[in-house]
Amino acid sequence: MAMGVALLFVFFLSLPGAGLHAQKAVTEITIGDAGGSPLISRHIYGHFAEHLGRCIYDGFYVGDSSLIPNKAGVRNDIIAALKELEIPNLRWPGGCFADTYHWKDGIGPREDRPTIVNTWWGGVTEDNSFGTHDFLNLCEALEAEPYLSGNVGSGAVQELADWVQYVNYDGQSPMSDLRVQNGRKEPWKVRYWGVGNEAWGCGGHMRAEYYADIYRKYATFMSGAGVEGGLYRIASGASDDDYHWTEVLMRDIPHRLLQGVALHHYSVIDWGNKGSSVDFSEQQYFDIMERSWLMEELIQKHSAIMDTYDPEKKVDLVVDEWGGWYDVIPGTNPGFLYQQNTIRDAMIAGLVLNIFNNHADRVKMANLAQTVNVLQAVILTEGEKMIRTPTYHVMNMYKVHQDARLLPLTFESPNYEAGGKSLPALSVSASMDEDDRLHISFVNIDASRAHTVQLPLAALGVAKLSAQILTGARLQDHNSFDQPEAVRPAGFSNFSYRKGILELELPPHSVVVLAGE
């Protein structure tokens, strides 16, 4: 497995205090010069909310007549949990749904809004009660930037141009007048716009060459008036290792029309046999870790293509869908993609976020799929109950990296072996924030072995260290509505700091975030 972080030594060492003959493998990690390092964009920690299953309806949105405490119909407990997470952006309304969505259906008095059928997700009736105002006001409450996904597959150029004018224009215009008539005077000034979604699939089954032309047309008519710095337009990107797709977009779309190119990669064992989200074997766990590590190779290879056409790295890579994908919980609607979230998902989150951090020079934005009740959710709800998943806790522990300067690391990971195959057991990223606080996030995906790491920190002037860990007795451990706190972060002190050398033992299947100042 190729790793973004390079080589070092795994060696055997006798440690003071260890038994006379006791020896253990120690992975030495060196921290390089951060001089030329990029900032880790906070937008890497973005989220995604689609009109899918119970993400919006009976998830975020319960309606303003609900007995569940809410603000304009959105649950207060969800708003509070996401604010604590400091989510930087939220993508909406899809996904596949976005290319069926006609935004004018979701504005004006609710009783006048038409219904549609959500053809991608469960064939249920969508009453459009949650629309543009609801979403953008929610983003304001979350202090998160909205990322609107425009309908290219079944919508017209004029329709998308109108949506941009409706939400962004602050002078007099047909669409801004309509917005004011619907109760909102000030424009929201939405910067992030997706120009279609999965154009190679649910967004229209287009060829890359055809989509590149379509993109040019739609992007041309999306006006950046009123948005400081102009719009940030994101092209519907490749699925997994479709490098031809990225090549064509980078080659055929003028870069002045293009701020980001997307990439979708899910950690899924086999689309025909995804396996349970809770009852899985170690081999299935290993396979999911293998699919998660693949993100490293995908980013390296898509970035290399982008480098050819854009050596100055002006166009960003936006991984606007990622996460673990399993079979739905038995008895739930197969089109609703409702799954549990275990220690395995915490490993995916820690590992993939480290990969994004370490590629902060090209990866500027990412969106975990999805926020509430769908796929690798950070929040699950049942009636008035709400729980934070293990993935929530990892995102919360990692938020310290947002907008901090990446510190380059060099090491060679020991292996995690299962079923005759092996993967790097350790994934690590580090950053220094603007107040000179050091943060290092470690993931040990090994299902049964602890691994010890050493890092020289003296050069960073670190005097005080503290750490948090997320782990569980079993890979399958998770939070439930009866036991909402079964998995949660705890203080971690299994490390020493002597003569400027940090030594830390990472338990099996654990995420540890260390803070130094």
Chain positions contacting ligand AHR, by CB under 6 A: 50, 94-96, 197-198, 321, 369-370, 375
Which residues are CB-contacts of 406 (< 8 A; sequence separation ≥ 6)? Answer: 34, 37, 38, 39, 40, 357, 358, 360, 429, 430, 431
Q: How far is the CB of 121 from ligand AHR (least distance, A)?
A: 8
Distances (CA, A) of 489 to 33, 34, 351: 31, 29, 17
Name the strand (E) or helix (H) holding 137. Answer: helix 132-142
- Tell me which residue has tokens 């002078």: 171
Q: What is the C-alpha to C-alpha distance for residues 347 and 302, in angstroms, rounded to an integer?
A: 24
Is-contact 91 320, C-beta < 8 A? yes
Nearer to ligand AHR, 50 or 433 (CB): 50
Nearer to ligand AHR, 95 or 155 (CB): 95
Is-contact 479 486, C-beta < 8 A? yes
Q: How far is the CB of 328 from ligand AHR (least distance, A)?
A: 12
- State residue 277 phi and psi, 5-degree precision: -80, -15
Q: How far is the CB of 370 from ligand AHR (least distance, A)?
A: 6
Q: How far is the CB of 61 from ligand AHR (least distance, A)?
A: 18
Peptide linkage before 95 cis (omega within 30 of 0): yes
- Tell me which residue has tokens 């996401």: 82
Is-contact 426 51, C-beta < 8 A? no
Nearer to ligand AHR, 4 or 93 (CB): 93
Q: How far is the CB of 197 from ligand AHR (least distance, A)?
A: 5
Nearer to ligand AHR, 12 or 271 (CB): 271
Which residues are CB-contacts of 376 (< 8 A; sequence separation ≥ 6)? Answer: 323, 324, 325, 339, 341, 345, 348, 349, 368, 369, 370, 391
Distances (CA, A) of 273 to 268, 284, 391: 9, 11, 23
160-181 core/surface letters (b: 16 or more CB in 10 A; e: else)? bbbbbbbbbbeeebebbebbee
Nearer to ligand AHR, 307 or 327 (CB): 327
Count of C-beta atoms within a 10 Å radius of residue 422: 14
DSSP per-residue letters across 199-264: TTTTTT---HHHHHHHHHHHHHT---TTSTT--EEEEEEEETT-HHHHHHHHHHS-GGG-SEEEEE
Is 198 labeled as catalytic in the residue annotation? Answer: yes
Nearer to ligand AHR, 232 or 322 (CB): 322
Total residues belonging to the chain: 517
Is 140 labeled as catalytic in the residue annotation? Answer: no
Q: How far is the CB of 375 from ligand AHR (least distance, A)?
A: 6
Q: How far is the CB of 149 from ligand AHR (least distance, A)?
A: 9
Distances (CA, A) of 204 to 259, 265, 354: 22, 19, 33
Distances (CA, A) of 339 to 128, 238, 277, 384: 25, 25, 6, 19
Nearer to ligand AHR, 95 or 408 (CB): 95
Q: Among residues 198, 209, 290, 505, which one is catalytic?
A: 198
Q: Among residues 143, 321, 412, 417, which one is catalytic?
A: 321
Helix, strand, coil abundance in the chain, percent, nearest 5: 30, 30, 45
The residue sitting closest to ligand AHR, measured at its beta carbon, is 95
Give SS3 for 163: helix
Nearer to ligand AHR, 134 or 198 (CB): 198
- State residue 138 phi and psi, 5-degree precision: -60, -45
Q: How far is the CB of 275 from ligand AHR (least distance, A)?
A: 17
Nearer to ligand AHR, 289 or 337 (CB): 337
Q: How far is the CB of 334 from ligand AHR (least distance, A)?
A: 13
Catalytic residue numbers read 198, 321
